[in-house]
Structure formats: structure tokens, C-alpha cells
Amino acid sequence: MQYINTLKRLFNHPSKYPMFRITKLRYIFLHMLLLSVILILPNSIQYIQVTKHLSTLVHEHVDEIPDFKIKDNKMDLTHNKTIQLNDAQSMVFTQSNQHKMSDKHLVIFKPDHIELSNYNNHTNISYGSLSSIIQNKQDLISFIGTINASKYFFLAIIILFLLFIQFISISFKISILAFIGHIISKCFNRKTRFMTWLKMITFVITLPTLVLLLGIVTSNALLMILSWCIIIIAILTLIIYLPKGKQQSN
């Protein structure tokens, strides 16, 4: 209940924001965690879909994987093959390195590397990094089966890792912004403390974080820039409404 009341303070006039200084640290960490969860949602959903597609591949399409061998960290493929996992996603085996990743591709096995869909981006995986695991079709089938048998465990590990990285990232971001706000406030002779800024920034970046999430989901760079513009405006507004410090005597 107290956390909800703290969130409601965001809808007050900016002159009331210094009251965030009385917010308990556990609510600060809770809000950082909530923002971290929000930001990892797109990738988490993507990995959940990958888990579902993995089950589909194992149970329905594993025999469609074409024969291949890995030689000198390159795939020697017998023929091109596209395995349709559902109406929206497919797995591609291609003899061309120019085959482009699109939204409908889950993973592409190219001669030089593997491209794994990562929401609006993709991750490249070299065959050299998998040389001790995958050398041919049977190795790949065995590897997929092993992963599928413990898919929910691996999914949990991946999501927790993403959450940890995002929490560290957003904590660093808040700390830097708070430090900047604190220094600028001193320059303008405002009553300021770093911890007050840390608590204010933690909650003030809520709207910019939602705008950033929308930018990530829609791949809109303008929204990502807008999120930073909102942060800058918010910091300047907070500085304006901070009470003035004591005038230093000559």
C-alpha cells in the first residue's frame, strides 16, 4: 500500500517530488526491479516462443533437418531446407551467407555461422563455439533433444540472467542521472542531496522507461530518443522546483 502511495506522488506537482526522499530503500529497489522486468519483457517473450518452437521441432519436424557436416568451422550442407514450425516462424538451412534474417525466421544455419532471432535483432553464433557439441545432423538432433528435455530450466536461467543484467544497467543509469542532477543543482544553489536525487530519479524515469519499451517493441529510434528527452526535461524541471539553498556570504 505504501508503495502505491509513493507511485501516486508522480502525479503531484514537481515541487512535491523532493518528498521522495522519505521513501524507504526497499521501495526504491522494488521499483528498480519492476522497471527491469518491464524492459526485459520483449526478449523474455521471444525466448518463451523459442521454447515452444523447440518442442514443435523435436516432436514434429526433427526428421526434416538436412544432412550436413561441420568442417573447419563451416557448415557443408547437402541442400537448402526451410522447416516451417508454424504459420509465423521457420528454421532455415541455407548454402548462402547472403540469406537475410527476417521476422519469420527463428534461426538460420548459414555456411559460416548460425543466426538466432533475438526479438528485433539477431545473434550470431560461430560453429567453432559449438565444435565440441555439433559436427553433423545427428549431433544437432541430440543437442536439440537435450535442450528440449530441460527447456524450462534453461528458460528460467536465461530470464534471470537478463533480469540481473537489466537491474545492474538501470541501477547504473539511475545513479549517473542522480549524480548529474545533484551536481547541476549545486551549481544553481539548490538544496540538494545525492540520495534525494537517487530516489526521485528512480520514480521519475517510469514514463521514459515505458516510452523506451514502446520504442524497442516497434523498433522506433525516435521513441528511444524521446525517452531521453523526457528524462532531460524532468531533471531540469526538478532543479527549477528544488528549494533554493542559503546564500553564501562574501
Whether residue 39 is found in the same domain as residue 78: no
CA distance 101 to 201: 38
Whether residue 167 is found in the same domain as residue 234: yes
Q: Which residue has the cell 538544496?
A: 191
> N- to C-terminal Cα distance for the chain?
49
pLDDT at 156: 92
Note whether residue 148 is domain-resident. no
Strands 105-109 and 113-118: antiparallel
| Number of domains into which the chain is organized | 2
Whether residue 229 is found in the same domain as residue 185: yes
Note whether residue 58 is domain-resident. no
Note whether residue 141 is domain-resident. no
Whether residue 186 is found in the same domain as residue 225: yes
pLDDT in tens, the chain (250 residues): 788 888 888 888 888 888 888 889 999 999 999 999 999 998 888 888 878 777 777 777 888 889 999 988 899 998 899 888 877 788 899 998 888 888 788 889 999 999 887 656 677 888 888 878 889 989 988 888 888 888 889 889 989 999 999 999 999 999 999 999 999 999 988 889 999 999 999 999 999 999 999 998 888 899 999 999 999 999 999 999 888 877 655 4
Note whether residue 59 is domain-resident. no
Note whether residue 140 is domain-resident. no
Domain end marker among 84, 102, 135: 135
CA atoms within 13 A on the CB side of 93: 19
Note whether residue 57 is domain-resident. no
Whether residue 235 is found in the same domain as residue 181: yes
Instruction: Give the C-alpha distances (Å, rounded to integers) separating 156 from 18, 20, 50, 117.
Output: 38, 34, 13, 18
Whether residue 72 is found in the same domain as residue 102: yes
Q: Which residue has the cell 540469406?
A: 99
pTM of the model: 0.79
Instruction: Give the C-alpha distances (Å, rounded to integers) separating 75 from 57, 91, 111, 169.
Output: 20, 15, 5, 37
Sign of CA dihedral 146, 149, 154, 155: positive
Domain that residue 74 falls in: 68-135
Whether residue 186 is found in the same domain as residue 125: no
Note whether residue 218 is domain-resident. yes
What DSSP string describes 42-71? HHHHHHHHHHHHHHHIIIIIGGGPPPEEEE
DSSP symbol at 244: B
Domain end marker among 135, 165, 191: 135
The sheet that has 113-118: what strands, in order across it?
81-84, 90-93, 105-109, 113-118, 121-126
Whether residue 30 is found in the same domain as residue 72: no
CB 161 within 8 A of CB 40: no
75 phi and psi, to 5 degrees? -90, 125
pLDDT at 120: 63
Whether residue 160 is found in the same domain as residue 120: no
pLDDT at 247: 61
**Helical spans, DSSP H, in 188-220:** 194-204, 206-218
